[in-house]
Amino acid sequence: MKEVNKIVQDERNYIESIGKHDKEAVREALADRGSDTLIRVCIGISGQEMPIRALGYFASAIATQEHYFPEAELQFVYPLLAAEKVNGVDLEQGRECAENLDYVARRSFPRRYRKDSPEAGNIKSFFDAQLPVDELQVAVAEVLATEPELSNQFRSLAKTRGSDFIPYVTAHVLMHDTSPMLLPVIRGELPNVAERVISIGAQSERPFYLARMACQRAKLLPDEVQVATGQLFTKHVISPYQSCREGEPLLSTDNASSMHSVPSVQRDLEYLDRALIAEADRYKAMTVPVEREEYCIGTYTRLEFA
């Protein structure tokens, strides 16, 4: 089996496939053990409490980093500014949701997060601190005008979301194809800059990936701005940070069941159950303090986002 395909075959990762258009960057990063590479996961913000499935993004990305790209920096990014601009999400509400999820994730995966852990990973969390300039948005619109089938798909999505798709796609280009400005969720955690960015996203990211690849073919970004990219798609059919229409357990739900009427959601919950149990078992086997570790979360004021 080719080494790159092991990422998909490894059930710990919950990866469904690898983006074919820039797969070479994934191969190179794999050969380099993630050296000079960022793994970036964007977690959408709605201002509503997150489903517990959102922790599945963390489980997937943390496993992928640990076993295949151990020298890479893993970045979880909460795009608050983009959520406010594109979907009208209140910054304060969005930040509260993001900080809550980030705190729960750190408590759920202490073996990789804790600085005193012998198995700690290079994992950081950020808010977006930059929005696309108007010129980039115009350029993205021109590229998508040459992709009618893809544009029609986005128009359908935009009707469902109640938002314009061009700013949404442009925000994806800025976040996944460049080294955008980021604000740390935890004071002092500054982002690295690398030649490669491997993005991890759910199945819903596929049209945005195709749009980004169309922009790359059109040489939309200058060479000094465009980073080498790779894409991993998780098995999440419904983005794990979005509750399905039938409802599902939220982060605050006690004794959440992995049984659900939607098969893909149930599969996501079962994966998360396995990942959390495995993490707890490995953490208990380590000789590290088990007392609660505090994090300085919530350090950014509304003024700093203005």
Q: Express each pLDDT in 62-91 by its tens digit.
A: 999 999 999 999 999 999 999 999 889 999
Of 306 and 224, more confident = 224
Residue 306 predicted with pLDDT over 50: no
Structure confidence at residue 158 (pLDDT):
67
Q: How confident is residue 154, by pLDDT bands cut at 50, 70 and 90?
A: confident
The helix/strand/coil state of 225 is coil
pLDDT digits (tens, 9 = 90+) for 186-203: 988 899 999 999 999 999
CA angle 18, 35, 8 (to 5 degrees): 20
Looking at 72-202, list the stretches that DSSP marks H as alpha helix, in order from N- to C-terminal side: 80-87, 91-108, 110-113, 134-145, 148-161, 165-177
237/268 Cα distance (integer angstroms): 9
Which domains are present in the chain?
3-288 (3.40.50.620)
Beta-carbon-side half-sphere exposure of residue 10 (alpha carbons within 13 Å): 20
CA 143 vs CA 38, 85, 218: distances in Å: 26, 22, 7
Angle between helix 80-87 and 165-177 (nearest 10): 170
Structure confidence at residue 155 (pLDDT):
84
- 75: closest CA among 211, 165, 200, 166? 200
Contact indicator for 24, 214 with CB cutoff of 8 Å: no
Q: Is the dihedral of CA 42, 48, 49, 54 positive or negative?
A: negative
Q: Average pLDDT, stretch 240-244?
A: 93
Q: Determine how β-strand 123-128 pairs with β-strand 228-234.
A: unpaired
303/122 Cα distance (integer angstroms): 29
**Please, what is the average pLDDT of the chain?**
89
As a whole number of Å, the CA-based R_g of the chain is 19
Contact indicator for 83, 103 with CB cutoff of 8 Å: no
Structure confidence at residue 1 (pLDDT):
57
268/47 Cα distance (integer angstroms): 22
Looking at the chain, list the stretches that DSSP marks H as alpha helix, in order from N- to C-terminal side: 3-9, 23-31, 55-68, 80-87, 91-108, 110-113, 134-145, 148-161, 165-177, 206-217, 263-284, 302-305
Q: Which residue has the tokens 């982002």?
A: 191
pLDDT digits (tens, 9 = 90+) for 274-300: 999 999 998 888 755 544 444 454 443
pLDDT digits (tens, 9 = 90+) for 31-58: 999 999 999 999 999 988 999 999 999 9
Residue 302 predicted with pLDDT over 60: no
